[in-house]
């Protein structure tokens, strides 16, 4: 499968605890931090939970 490049571009201030946990699971937590992850359904669900805080590139 393809790798996804996930970048946090908005702050998690004001986000609920589940969204903050999703960001930690992805390896994010600071604005501008980028991680590369292998695309799979579990990752897609996690990204969907914080889609308003991150940008995804393939």
Does the pTM surpass 0.95? The reply is: no
CA dihedral 33, 7, 26, 58 (to 10 degrees): -140
Segment 12-34, tens digit of pLDDT? 999 999 999 999 999 999 999 99
Does 3-57 carry CATH code 3.30.1390.20? yes
| CA–CA gap between residue 17 and residue 4 (Å, rounded) | 24
Please name which of 20, 18, 1 lies closest in space to residue 10, comparing C-alpha atoms.
20
- pLDDT in the model for residue 36: 97
What integer pLDDT is reported at residue 58 of this predicted model? Answer: 87
Residue ranges covered by each domain of the chain: 3-57
């Amino acid at each position: 499968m393809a790798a996804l490049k996930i970048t946090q571009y908005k702050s998690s201030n004001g986000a609920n605890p589940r969204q903050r946990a999703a960001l930690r699971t992805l390896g994010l937590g600071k604005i501008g931090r980028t991680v590369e992850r292998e695309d799979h359904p579990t990752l897609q669900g996690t990204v969907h939970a914080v889609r308003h805080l991150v940008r995804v590139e393939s």
